[in-house]
Amino acid sequence: MTKPDSNPPPGGNRSLLKAIRADIDLHLRSGLYLIGFVVSALLALPLALLVPSSRLASAIPAFILICLGSATMLFMAARIVRERDDGMLDAVLGTPLSANNFIAAKLVSLNLLMVFMTVVMLSLLQAGIALQGGEGPLFSLLDFGFGLIGLMTLFLLVALGLIVRFRRLTDFLLPALLLSFFIQMPVLLVLDVFEHWALLVIPSASPTLIMMGAFGTVDPLLASMGYLGTALWLVILFVWSKRAFYHYLVNDTE
């Protein structure tokens, strides 16, 4: 397989926008948004019916970290496996679309899907609470949005860097399960089950702290440090996933 130019070609921005639109169209036609709606509704039910309103400020970031984080990894892995099996990946890599733009298109399109799922979940949750005569927790939409996108992008990059090593989705599941178990350990901090500085070193801790800060459940200074940690981890994971992408797909190395 010919290695595409790692530098954006002329008209690279247009190529990126076309790739994003193509991915979104594919997600719509393959029913991912319908699946996302159903999954979000199922997640909203236990939050609305079983979790007291006083605990929602912790439960919402925890649900996003565990449930949406796992779904995000599966969506990315499924897309890469399908495109590889259908030969779409070879066709894309033979075009002027750069590796950076290919990865960016996947990150943007799948992040849009996860934002959609989160909006559905929170909307149904709020509706369920209102029907019970209660009120949902107040939070900073800006901080919550940054934390959510940072966390989902992190999971997408981890999934990309892992799935390119396997030909089948079933082979990916066990390593992904073990890796996600480690990545999602900061949920102990979110739920106030266990506190230790080592949990803050785990990549998902930084964007999770931003989301916790949106609800006011963590020290503002610690939440603000989450922005720096998130930026650092995203750079590291982007470089790692891109190298894996080149090694296992572009160079077709086993």
Q: Tens digits of per-residue pLDDT, 214-227?
A: 999 899 999 999 99
* DSSP string for 63-127: HIIIIIHHHHHHHHHHHHHHHHHTTHHHHHHTSS--HHHHHHHHHHHHHHHHHHHHHHHHHHHHH
Residue 12 has pLDDT above 70, yes or no: no
Residue 192 has pLDDT above 90, yes or no: no
Determine what percent of the chain is predicted with pLDDT higher than 70: 90
Residue 172 has pLDDT above 90, yes or no: yes
Phi, psi of 94, rounded to the nearest 5 degrees: -90, 0
CB 76 within 8 A of CB 110: yes
Mean pLDDT within 85-93: 71
**Residue 131 to residue 167: CA distance in whole angstroms:** 47
Nearest to 229 by CA among 249, 251, 204: 204
pLDDT at residue 120 in the model: 96
- Name which residue leads in pLDDT, 155 or 94: 155
pLDDT at residue 144 in the model: 97
**Residue 123 to residue 127: CA distance in whole angstroms:** 6
Residue 227 three-state SS: helix
Q: What is the band of 89 on the pLDDT scale with cuts at 50, 70, 90?
A: confident
Q: For residue 182, give both structure tokens.
A: 């480690």
- Name which residue leads in pLDDT, 49 or 215: 215
**Residue 192 to residue 215: CA distance in whole angstroms:** 14
* Angle (CA) 5 14 243, round 5°: 35
pLDDT at residue 92 in the model: 64
Mean pLDDT within 5-13: 50
pLDDT at residue 154 in the model: 97
Nearest to 230 by CA among 160, 114, 148: 148
pLDDT at residue 35 in the model: 93
Mean pLDDT within 150-156: 97
Nearest to 6 by CA among 104, 86, 89, 77: 104
Mean pLDDT within 159-185: 94
- State the average pLDDT for the chain: 88
List CB contacts of 230: < 8 A, sequence separation 6 or more.
146, 147, 150, 154, 206, 207, 210
Residue 1 has pLDDT above 50, yes or no: no
Dihedral sign computed on CA atoms, order 145, 38, 113, 201: positive
Residue 2 has pLDDT above 80, yes or no: no
Residue 95 has pLDDT above 70, yes or no: no
Phi, psi of 228, rounded to the nearest 5 degrees: -65, -45
Q: What is the band of 10 on the pLDDT scale with cuts at 50, 70, 90?
A: very low
pTM of the model: 0.90
pLDDT at residue 8 in the model: 45
Mean pLDDT within 23-34: 92
Nearest to 156 by CA among 213, 86, 102: 102
Residue 199 has pLDDT above 50, yes or no: yes
- Name which residue leads in pLDDT, 31 or 5: 31
